[in-house]
Copies of this chain bind each other. A is one copy, B any other.
């Protein structure tokens, strides 16, 4: 492999970019792998793997990580970003432990913390954080995944006994896919339609005991079912819960945003039911935030394995008859892996911004509506793209390792199975992108903010309408483009950051403006016609959201690059970062190159530069593959892939040594092909 383009960089400086502001907490999360119970057995039935995962969650509690987000007076640090950063790194140990811990602390504990009162914290949150009270998060129903507002479970208040009657009225209202439900959960936070005095006040959350002790019998009226085997996350005991008129005390309502008095009178500080609903759900954004970061971790791990193998593994001869070329020396191998490296940098730097928004809101430092909106949009959009990217990256890495990539001992197939569900849980990615799109539209055109039609529009529409206008910054883009696309810029090379930024921004702007124009007539249409119109642009809507998220990620990466260049003054590192940014930006432009040409932002001549520039960037970045692997920050205990730790290089060396020695021996056989060629040459000569 050519080392011509290799830069002399300090990997720790690049690692600092990837690890971001909560690097110390990441280190804590990474250290967990060395604890007892941090990694599951390779084999074992579901029962065993679940028991091991539970032991892993208990081991995690001992590290203190799980109490970081608690208020200071409850023994925590009010440190939400630090907690999430550490938590994300648990993927390096065991995704099953991460997700079961996420259910216990993030979802079950999170609902208690954010929706419950002080007394409820004392009674349930404290033992939950200590792992003494295991619980499920019973929101999703078989019949309703992403459309939470439509769940069927009811909680009807009975003033006679001062109890809520929790009921599953039909099979589709069964709570589904809940971690801790199949085996270990003693209780659940159950989302149900709160009904009192003949009025349905919408979805609220209730604390409901479900088992007689952890792993015990289901309580009367509670039916539990086991989801059994899944595509991954085998250590998590997912299951179903249904309720046959189960009574819980009135005080089991987590009453932060709505309460019922003894006589059945409902009160809430938030008058609008829609806004109340989204405020409640908003407190649960942490799941999306952490999946975004966990996807970055998983993608880095996979690339770490594939790049290390690619630098050792030799196959086919090229420049030299005797020494075979390493895989990463091949252009196609570079083309397969290096753009994924650039993308994981974009995802990591964007994730750091998301953590910033998250900490701001959840610490209470900036709890404004605008800050919450930014957080929700970033979380939805970033999570959607990162989780898809992780799957795509792991699969490419598995294929780049050939048959060895399919072996369990090389980690990649297991990692794929574990990460697979990330793309559809905590909000299906396709639905999340529509949420982002709706925000873009409302922001672009005020008259669209009340659009409440078609498909997911009810969900998205309500949300947007209930919120004050969120400024995505789109309104300013037109001007920015105008400023940027000066005649001088038109002559700049495609590696100019301004050119990349202008093109990526402009695509979003044009797409949103076009959509707004198409959707405007909907306001005066009948419901079914409007739904049809909305549906006819759904694909375009999702593509616009994707383009917007890509711009946000590109900008995070661009800023990180400038920070390295300007603040630290490390030239080689800044140059490497620039290669990464350019590769990310140009890959995005190449993906939609037809669009850019059609809309006149890219001349044919410049368009033809893109492919070769990407080829060249891939080659240059590959020359620093070793340093990039170092920068990922993982060790053999995290990778746990036989092929990544030098065994291949040893074998190749042994084979080369064998041939070198063998060729020197007098009895080393002659290759028949040489004899054949010589004979042919001889005959040719003879014929002349």
Q: Which residues does A use to contact B, with CB under 8 Å?
A: 2, 42-43, 45-46, 140, 142-147, 150, 152, 169-173, 176-177, 195, 198-202, 227-232, 271-274, 315-321, 324-325, 329-332, 335-336, 391, 395, 398-399, 402-403, 405-409, 412-414, 416-417, 420-421, 423-425, 428-430, 453-459, 527-528, 531-532, 534-539, 542, 590, 593-594, 596-598, 604, 607-608, 615, 650-652, 654-655, 658, 662, 667, 669-673, 675-676
Contacts and interface: CB of A to CB of B under 8 A. Distances in A.
A453 B230 contact: no
B424 A195 contact: no
Contacts of A402: 145-146, 424, 428
B654 A172 contact: yes
Given A228-B408, A329-B535, 17 more contacts: A143-B655, A146-B315, A147-B315, A152-B655, A172-B654, A232-B413, A271-B676, A273-B672, A316-B458, A318-B458, A319-B532, A398-B420, A406-B420, A406-B421, A417-B417, A536-B615, A597-B598
5 contacts: A177-B403, A227-B407, A229-B408, A331-B535, A598-B607
A317 B105 CA distance: 33
Contact of A676 (B144, B272, B593): B272
The 6 tightest CB contacts between A and B, nearest first, are A231-B413, A593-B594, A229-B408, A319-B528, A594-B594, A318-B531
A202 B676 CA distance: 12
A230 to B, nearest CB: 5
A676 B273 contact: yes
A145 B147 CA distance: 48
How many identical subunits does the complex contain?
2
Contacts of A198: 667, 669-670
Contacts of A542: 332
A182 to B, nearest CB: 12
A147 B316 contact: yes
Contact of A527 (B319, B414, B590): B319
A669 B318 contact: no
Contacts of A596: 594
Contacts of A325: 455
Nearest to A275: B676
A414 B230 CA distance: 9
| Interface of A (DSSP majority class) | helix
Given A425-B403, A598-B608, A652-B172, A230 B331 contact: no
A2 B669 CA distance: 73
A405 B424 contact: yes
Contacts of A667: 198
Nearest to A424: B402
B424 A317 contact: no
Contacts of A676: 271-273
Contact of A423 (B171, B336, B399): B399
Contacts of A324: 147, 150
A278 to B, nearest CB: 13
Contacts of A651: 142-143, 170-172
Contact of A406 (B170, B231, B429): B231
B421 A658 contact: no
Nearest to A604: B598
B318 A535 contact: yes
B403 A145 contact: yes
A46 to B, nearest CB: 8
Nearest to A607: B598
Contacts of A176: 403
Contacts of A172: 651-652, 654-655
A158 B669 CA distance: 14
Contacts of A142: 651
A430 B327 CA distance: 12
A133 B482 CA distance: 76
Contacts of A527: 319-321
A170 B199 CA distance: 78
Contacts of A654: 170-172
A441 to B, nearest CB: 16
B672 A199 contact: yes
A172 to B, nearest CB: 4
A455 B330 contact: yes
B655 A319 contact: no
A200 B671 contact: yes
Contacts of A150: 316, 324
B200 A672 contact: yes
Contacts of A453: 318
A676 B539 CA distance: 33
Given A532-B319, A598-B607, A202 B147 contact: no
A673 B607 contact: no
A458 B658 contact: no
Nearest to A590: B594
- Of A274, A413, A669, the most chain B CB neighbours within 10 A belong to A669
